[in-house]
Amino acid sequence: MITISESGNPKNSIQIPALKRPSSLKRFLVHFRRPSDYENNNVTKEYGFDWLRDEYIYPIETVNRRTTPLCTDVERLKGEYSRDVTDPIRPYEVDYYPAWLSLKEGKEATLDLELEALEELAEDATALIFESSTPHLQIEPAQINLSEILQTGRQTKNLGQTTRDYYLGNNTITITCTGGTFAEHQQIKVFAQSGAQREEVGKLMIYHNQDIYRLNARFVQVNFKGSIHMPSRKVDGMDIESKLNFSENTVEINVINSPSLNPPVDPIGMETTISNWKRYVEDTEEKAKQKFIQALIEYVPIKKNQRKYDYRKINVDFKKFKIGDNIEEGPGINRIKRSITEIDADGIVCNMREFLLGLREIYEEEYTSEPGVAFFLMPTVIRYPKNPSDIDTRIKHLDGFAEDIFSTGRYVMLARHHKHFREMTLVHEAAHNMGLVHSFQVATEEEGITIVPEHTFVNGTTENIMDYSLNTFSFWKYQWDKLRQDNHDLELIR
Ligand SMILES: [Zn+2]
């Protein structure tokens, strides 16, 4: 009621009823987003989070001087993020793609809330209400006033041809899985409510977490013995003869008749030794755990006790091998020797796949094959020839090499230890064995094998572990699905 008082005289006051306007719910959407401190070395985030990123579907990023979406088939990717969604929504006739959270029982995730404004918004009495589809997911707070998020200030994002106005509430909402797990994907619905008006304006999908898998990681110390002799050949008009001598944990490279190559240069700080690999394996254990738990897979390095890793050993005895010799010896070593085409200042040049299969044969002579991935720790650099006709020169140096993803791979060779690009190599290679291809993989057929990737992204532009980027740390939701389908390497533990 509004009271108009004339000359302060109550007798003359007139009372006018307030205007009965319909309560007006402004149009906006709510998206859950990963907080900016997700990839922070000081904090361990034990959950997976994925969503349809703007730069994947809008022409925002510039690649080779062209502004383009990072995914080559945008419609197909949108279809991916519509898949498995419970009770899909399309608020105000706008396409909506929920984000995905994977969370183990007993764990929590604190997320950002992004409010996408479809019209000018005002600080009114509208509330955001969160409703979980299961009692095993707790949301804190369960209700937020719209004005709280609006107070963070309006921002505008460039989407190429269009823009989006939005508000971002940092670390606004905490979701905890407690008191039980669920066998089906769950959801958290977001409602906007003002007076009697209520609209569903957002959703977070929660990945089913009843089944947790275990990935055993076994580390195998490869000992080289004997020597490899590369007979004299012409390099830049000069006769070069070289020899690698191996003894326990040491590799000696002798380049004969070559002042220009002796001593070998090491431009990127390469130290491929067993002890460096062991340090790497042990230092990156926490990271590897954190990456695999995104897909609700527990990464378990096999240990003798709590601290000490259980390194297995195999011997590769080259005896006095001369490249070009006839080879008649036995399983493993035959294949390895035949794979070697050259030696040079940075190690063994070979067909890496054949070399790895040779190691596998030697390993399986001594140890029975168990579920999980075995990593061969190599005492020297193993690499492809520098300019082979059949292999892209980009990949002449690989940090690691995984067995063919179609042959129920379970062996990885850690091939080249150096100070760059190394943190994710172990996880990346294990994920290859578990069926993931590169993020930039295109449909291809090679040697009778057909590879059809689910999606293709521009090489080197994403944070995905299967990309060739500098900083990679996440798996996508469809990769969680794929990793978990590996019933050869994984053991169901719960
Ligand atoms: Zn790879």
CA–centroid distance, residue 217 to ligand 1 (Å): 18
What percent of the chain stands above pLDDT 90?
Answer: 66
User: How many angstroms separate the alpha carbon of residue 282 from the centre of ligand 1?
Assistant: 21
The backbone torsions φ and ψ at residue 187, rounded to the nearest 5 degrees and listed phi first, read -145, 155
Q: 392: CA distance to ligand 1 center in Å? A: 13
CA of 85 to the centre of ligand 1 (A): 30
State in Å: Cα 326 to ligand 1 middle: 33
Which residue stretches of 97-224 are H helix? 146-150
Assign 418 a pLDDT band (cuts: 50, 70, 90). Answer: confident
State the pairing for strand pair 382-383/347-350: parallel
CA 173 to chain centre: 24
Q: Which tens digit of pLDDT belongs to each residue from 41-55?
A: 667 789 999 999 999
Q: Helix or strand or coil: residue 234?
A: strand
Report the interhelical angle of 285-292 vs 274-283 (nearest 10°): 50
Amino acid at 402: A
- Minimum mean pLDDT among 114-118, 163-167, 393-397: which range? 393-397
Task: Specify the pTM.
Answer: 0.89
DSSP secondary structure code for residue 79 in this structure: H
Distance 283 CA to ligand 1 centre (A): 21
Spacing, Cα 250 to ligand 1 middle (Å): 28
Alpha carbon of residue 305 to chain centroid: 29
Distance 437 CA to ligand 1 centre (A): 7
Higher pLDDT, 140 or 383: 140
The model's pLDDT over 173-208, given as tens digits with 9 standing for 90+, comes to: 999 999 999 999 999 999 999 989 999 999 999 999
Q: Where are the domains of the chain?
A: 28-206, 213-436+475-492
C-alpha 430 – ligand 1 centre gap (Å): 9
CA of 331 to the centre of ligand 1 (A): 27
